């Protein structure tokens, strides 16, 4: 089946909305945070641990799986769910972002993109059709259109050409999409330019996708202000009965600001990446367990957290594991950090329900960032 978005409640004071997404693997509440399993595994975690932190949809990467193990291996395994033992919904990105961020140098043509395999240097060519064909074989529940992801600093002229090309690519991808149980989302681009975001949103929606995402917002060279504006410029043109997905965003404040501007789903590698570096989200801010002050801190990472790591382990132990390069440390912190963002979305949903999202933001920013807004 195609995913179906059901609007439950619109918050009184913001653009935020409570919804439910129906998928092949059950119905899930939004706003939602999706953990990232780049290589058909959410780094260090088992599927049971993902369920345990209340994960809904997870994301996996077309580019990585295309290169290794190859989409045919996943296809012959019976699809990505069976391959990785995950009986929840999966969204695959299109590979566009990875081609433009990992695989340099590249050569963009109307037909597609030539680039170097980041693993072995081989010259490769990815087209909108190929991206969709790979995703059809991976058999994810939601596929993404193949798009160009130019830097936010690209000038208006280049961005205009890019947005137009991405629209042509979106149409080409949709034309070859051939998987009845898989939904296909369109991606709105346009960088920081209001007219281009509007143009991209309107034209992408005309192509009639099963959902829409706002791309090009997690680039290194983009300011938070530009990101928030890109959402504001795009969202008004997305039909209310379709899912709105902000790609690659997972910093707590950006999730809140995204929800306030009408976003339903988010994904980011941040919680697992931070974990590998010994960092943890807590309700009173991000902490670095490598800091000497935690050497004999026998309290949990966050005393307000209900995750497995916080129930059974201390900062001192996890610090020891991280210092000793023991992967069980990254595993405990990944569980915790993912749970933190998912718990955030649970609290956000409660706040939307009660029309108290701005109060939630004020309290969160005060406690987490120690700032008054």
Residues within the interface to a second copy (CB under 8 A): 39-41, 43-46, 64, 68-69, 73, 76-78, 83-85, 295-296, 298, 312-314, 316-317, 319-321, 323-324, 326-331
Closest separation in Å from C-beta 102 to a second copy = 14
**Nearest distance from residue 56's CB to a second copy, in Å?**
20
| C-alpha–C-alpha distance, residues 360 and 356, integer Å | 6
- Please state the closest distance from residue 243 (CB atom) to a second copy, in A: 29
Measured from the CB atom, the residue of 50 and 231 that comes closer to a second copy is: 50
Three-state DSSP class for residue 123:
strand
C-alpha 203/C-alpha 198 separation (Å) is: 8
**In this structure, what token pair is assigned to residue 305?**
């957290």
As measured in angstroms, the least distance from the Cβ of 293 to a second copy is 13
Q: Which residues of 234-260 are buried (b: 16+ CB within 10 A; e: fewer)?
A: bbebbeeebbbbbbbbbbbebbbbbbb
Beta carbons within 8 Å of 142's beta carbon, 6+ residues apart: 3, 23, 57, 89, 90, 91, 92, 182, 183, 184, 185, 210, 211
Residues in contact with 276: Cβ distance below 8 Å, sequence separation at least 6, in sequence order = 43, 330, 333, 334
141 is catalytic: no
* Shortest Å distance, C-beta 278 to a second copy: 14
Rank residues 120 and 157 by Cβ distance to a second copy and give the closer one: 120
Q: 243-246 and 211-214 as β-strands: parallel, antiparallel, unpaired? A: parallel
Helices (H), 19-92: 47-52, 62-67, 71-76, 80-84
The catalytically annotated residue of 75, 93, 122, 221 is 93
Selected catalytic residue, list 210, 254, 267, 302: 267
CA distances from 231 to 19, 198, 249, 253, 315 (A): 18, 10, 12, 14, 37
* Nearer of residues 155 and 296 to a second copy, judged by Cβ: 296
C-beta of 84 vs 227, nearer to a second copy? 84
Token pair recorded at residue 14: 């913001």
CB of 240 to a second copy, least distance (A): 39
Known active-site residue 226:
no
Q: Cβ closer to a second copy: 178 or 324?
A: 324
Min CB(365)–a second copy separation in Å: 34
Nearer to a second copy, 38 or 153 (CB): 38
- List of E strands, the chain: 4-10, 17-23, 26-30, 32-34, 58-60, 90-92, 106-108, 113-116, 123-126, 142-144, 183-188, 211-214, 243-246, 265-267, 279-280, 287-288
Of 197 and 315, nearer to a second copy (C-beta) is 315
Catalytic residue numbers read: 93, 267
């Amino acid at each position: 089946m195609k995913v179906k978005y059901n609007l439950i409640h619109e918050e009184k004071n913001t653009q935020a909305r409570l919804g439910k997404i129906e998928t092949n693997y059950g119905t899930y509440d939004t706003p939602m945070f999706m953990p990232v399993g780049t290589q058909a595994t959410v780094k260090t975690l088992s599927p049971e641990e993902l369920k345990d932190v209340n994960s809904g949809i997870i994301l996996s990467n077309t580019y990585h799986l295309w290169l290794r193990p190859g989409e045919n291996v996943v296809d012959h395994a019976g699809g990505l769910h069976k391959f990785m033992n995950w009986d929840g919904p999966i969204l695959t990105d299109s590979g566009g972002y990875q081609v433009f961020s990992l695989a340099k140098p590249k050569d963009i043509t109307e037909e597609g993109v030539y680039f170097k395999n980041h693993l072995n240097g081989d010259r490769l060519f990815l087209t909108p059709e190929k991206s969709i064909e790979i995703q059809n074989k991976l058999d994810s529940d939601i596929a993404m259109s193949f798009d160009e992801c130019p830097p936010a600093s690209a000038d208006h002229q280049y961005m205009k050409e890019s947005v137009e090309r991405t629209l042509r690519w979106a149409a080409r991808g949709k034309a070859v999409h051939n998987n009845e149980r898989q939904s296909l989302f369109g991606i709105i681009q346009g960088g920081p330019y209001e007219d281009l975001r509007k143009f991209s949103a309107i034209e992408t929606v005309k192509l009639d996708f099963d959902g829409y995402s706002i791309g090009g917002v997690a680039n290194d060279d983009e300011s938070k202000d530009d990101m928030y504006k890109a959402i504001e410029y795009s969202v008004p043109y997305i039909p209310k009965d379709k899912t709105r997905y902000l790609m690659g965003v997972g910093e707590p404040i950006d999730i809140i600001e995204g929800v306030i501007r009408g976003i339903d789903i988010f994904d980011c590698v941040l919680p697992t990446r931070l974990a590998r570096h010994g960092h943890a989200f807590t309700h009173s801010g991000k902490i670095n367990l490598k800091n000497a002050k935690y050497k004999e801190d026998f309290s949990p990472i966050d005393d307000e957290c209900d995750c497995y790591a916080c129930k059974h382990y201390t900062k001192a132990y996890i610090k020891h594991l991280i210092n000793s390069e023991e992967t069980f440390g990254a595993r405990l912190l990944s569980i915790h950090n993912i749970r933190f963002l998912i718990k955030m979305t649970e609290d956000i949903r409660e706040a939307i329900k009660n029309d108290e999202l701005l109060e939630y933001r004020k309290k969160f920013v005060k406690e987490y960032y120690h700032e008054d807004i």
